[in-house]
Amino acid sequence: MADIDWDRLRGAAREVVTRAYAPYSGYPVGAAALTDSGEVIVGCNVENAAYGVTLCAECSLVSALITGGGGRLVAFTCCNGGGEVIMPCGRCRQLLWEHGGAELLVETVRGIRPMTEVLPDAFGPEALAAHRPERRPEP
C-alpha cells in the first residue's frame, strides 16, 4: 500500500470526472485505477435517457482496461463532481472483483481497504469453475 500514489490516482479521478456525461442525475463520477503493469487508467459515468443502460465510471474504467490490452487492477478510487471519494455501487464492486480480485486495494470513504472487505464473500470466476458441469460430448 505504501508504494501506491493515492494522491495521483485521486487526481486522475478528479480530472476525468470533468468529462462525465451526467445530464439526468447531475451526479458526475470519475474513477481511476492502477494496473499490475503500472499504468493508470480512468473512466467516467455516461448516462442515458434509458436509465438502465447508463454506464458507471467503473464500467468505463474496466472497458479501458480490456481495450487497452487487459491486466489486473491493483488499486482503485472514485470521486464525485466535488472531488470527494465515494464508494462503488454493488454492481461495480462485482465488476472490480472480477478484474482485481481479493487483492485489489480500494480507497473508500473509511480509508484504503482490500476488496475482501469491500465485497465480502464475493462471487467470482472461481465459484463458477468449482460448480461447472462437465461437458457432454456431442451425439
Assign 3-class secondary structure to 101-130. CCCCEEEECCEEEEHHHHCCCCCCHHHHHH
Name the residue with cell 489486473.
72
- Which residues are registered as beta bridge partners of 106? 76, 113
Beta-carbon contacts of residue 56 (< 8 Å; ≥ 6 apart) = 29, 45, 88, 89, 91, 92
Which residue in 8, 26, 27, 28 sits closest to 17, CA to CA?
A: 28
Per annotation, catalytic residue among 58, 84, 98, 138: 58
Catalytic annotation present for 103: no
Active site positions, annotated: 58
